[in-house]
Amino acid sequence: MIETRYRPAWRVALGCALFGSALSAAANTVSGPNQTSATLSIQNDWGSGYCASVSVDNSGSAALTGWQVTLHTNNSDINNLWNGQLNGNSVTNMDYNGHVSAGSNTSFGFCATANGSEAYLPELVALQVDGGAASSSSSSSSSVSSASSVSSSSESSSSSVSSSSVSSSSSSSSSSSSAGGDMIPNATSSGWPYCRSSDSDPDGDGWGWENSHSCIVYGSQPDPGPGDFPYCQIGAEEITLCATDNGSWGSEDGGVCLSRSMCPGMGTNDQSAMRDLPVNPDASASAVAVYDYLQSIWGSYMLSGQMDQTWQDAIDQTQRVINDTGRAPAMMGYDFMNYGLYWNGISGLTQTEEAIEYWNQGGLVSFTWHWRDPKAAEGVIGEFYTEDTDFVIPVVNGELDTASESFANIEADVDMIAAELQRLEDAGVPVLWRPLHEASGGWFWWGRTDRADDVPAAYAQVVLWRYLYERLTNHYGLDNLIWVWNGQGGAWYPGDEYVDIVSHDIYDGQQNYESQIDVYELTAAYPHEVKMVALSENSNIPDPDQMAADGAWWLWFMVWNDGDTAEGVTSSSNFWTGEYFNTNAHKSHVYNHEWVITLDELPDFP
């Protein structure tokens, strides 16, 4: 996250993740001809953007053959839209949802970024339809009015931060099983992928959104039944299945392929036992001690965690936690986001020192890396969101293209971060290391899906992850790293030998303290061997009592940081301070719970 982090808007079930509690905005309805209407509902409003759904209802006596909804987006720009086609300020139906039977409805949804702090929520202006007929008991009316042109952009689904609200939610909130416990197949007979979870379909019309692509909910009205194809359907990609199943990605006949056991809907839930030691056979004594401790508490306790305010050094997130609960978090999260930006006035360049200090106080530390555009020019602040950079992971012949300029840029950045990780190792600090986070969402360049070649986005990320592991572990000999994978989609999993812990990020409405058992179970099911499961970013903290009741034993939670406000201000940009997400009573309940470990309860590590 950075100064303004746009987060998922739909509810995340097992499978960043989505969230679905409608917030304070009232619904907006317009009438169309032949007893039709459209109703807009705000699904999530986080202060600097929103996600909304629009239902098109046909109360007439004959089917519609098409529809068009005119929007006024006010001071916001649409950056992701599903189940419709955006043209200017109008949304028209897709081929599959233009037919709306009498007495039925369809829907579309979108997310947008606010251009200011006032009047940015959208409004419906008009509804036009093709076909339909009013019932004999009602007269036909139409309220198609002219609307001033509103400029809005419709970007690819892989490109937005707010698109995270859809993709991330779908990828993170997915489940491989149907309500009856049977495995959900890979794709429908019509070629659409099945949603891994019905939570990907917040409006309940049977159409969802995962992996930057529409999907069909298993057993829903639009489901034509399972298909049988010689490939794995992930999003819009038809990925070749490997002839030999190696449990991951492979290369055969000069092309990339995916093992059947890794294809959603084709694998099994069989897992081997959890290994006793970290995946790095040369892990340091302190890293082994931390890993062993984490294994000993998993399933019985949850570590408390708080993300540091990376981009504003003046804000002390640890102290804010203490002020509200009387206790300090067991773990602090840090970010290498601004490393490489070496000029006066930049915050976030003392994360290494802060992590060493917290370890010396007896705490655990984790690091993520909002990896800025590797090819950004000297003196330029590179971007990490897909929509703001054209950087692509260079892959040729199934491997990183080590002869490319892009690879040279990647390697320079990795070498820079390796130096910081080395400082941490020299200080005896083991690091819960979470690179390439939220990849399957597509909003960061390491997960972009709009590649010009035939390389699957998931495979490109897997190749980069494995390179990071080899470079940091074998080339630099960094033995203090415990590898935390946060890709949030099964096909993005790099393999059991490269991962110690699996995790998911969840931003799910306001003051929602459910256990998130569905997301937990899906995340736990990604590996082929049992791995510990962590909640690596969150807004709301799951209630420990509900977590225990459901068996959703998140290894830790990590509340995201606050915006640049005074302490105690309730705001959607403040994930800890104030009471927008977690009330003061809930914070105290969690931090003083017998099943939640705080700083003072950690053992001494070597």
Any idea which residues carry the catalytic annotation? 438, 537
Alpha-carbon distance of 151 to 170, in angstroms, equals 28
What are the structure tokens assigned to 559, written together?
């509340």
Report whether 559 contacts 527 (CB < 8 A): no
Report whether 572 contacts 44 (CB < 8 A): no
Alpha-carbon distance of 73 to 28, in angstroms, equals 13
Report whether 501 contacts 484 (CB < 8 A): yes
Length of the chain: 606
CA distances to 119, 330, 357 from 362, in Å:
47, 8, 9
CA distances to 8, 195, 197, 374 from 268, in Å:
29, 17, 17, 38
Alpha-carbon distance of 87 to 568, in angstroms, equals 43
Beta-ladder partners of 433? 367, 483
Residue among 16, 376, 78 nearest 210 (CA): 16
CA distances to 381, 401, 420, 448, 471 from 413, in Å:
14, 16, 11, 19, 12
- Tell whether the torsion through CA atoms of 447, 449, 452 and 453 is positive or negative: positive
Residue among 109, 5, 89, 110 nearest 47 (CA): 5
Angle between helices 457-469 and 405-426 (to 10 degrees): 40
Alpha-carbon distance of 283 to 200, in angstroms, equals 39
> How many CB atoms within 10 Å of residue 546?
14
Alpha-carbon distance of 18 to 11, in angstroms, equals 4
> How many CB atoms within 10 Å of residue 137?
7
Return all residues near 459 (Cβ < 8 A) that are at least 6 apart: 249, 256, 258, 395
- b or e along 56-92 (b: 16 or more beta carbons within 10 Å of the residue's beta carbon)? bbbbbbebbebbbbbbbbbebbbbbbbbbebeebbbe
Alpha-carbon distance of 194 to 542, in angstroms, equals 28
Give the chain's largest Cα–Cα span.
82
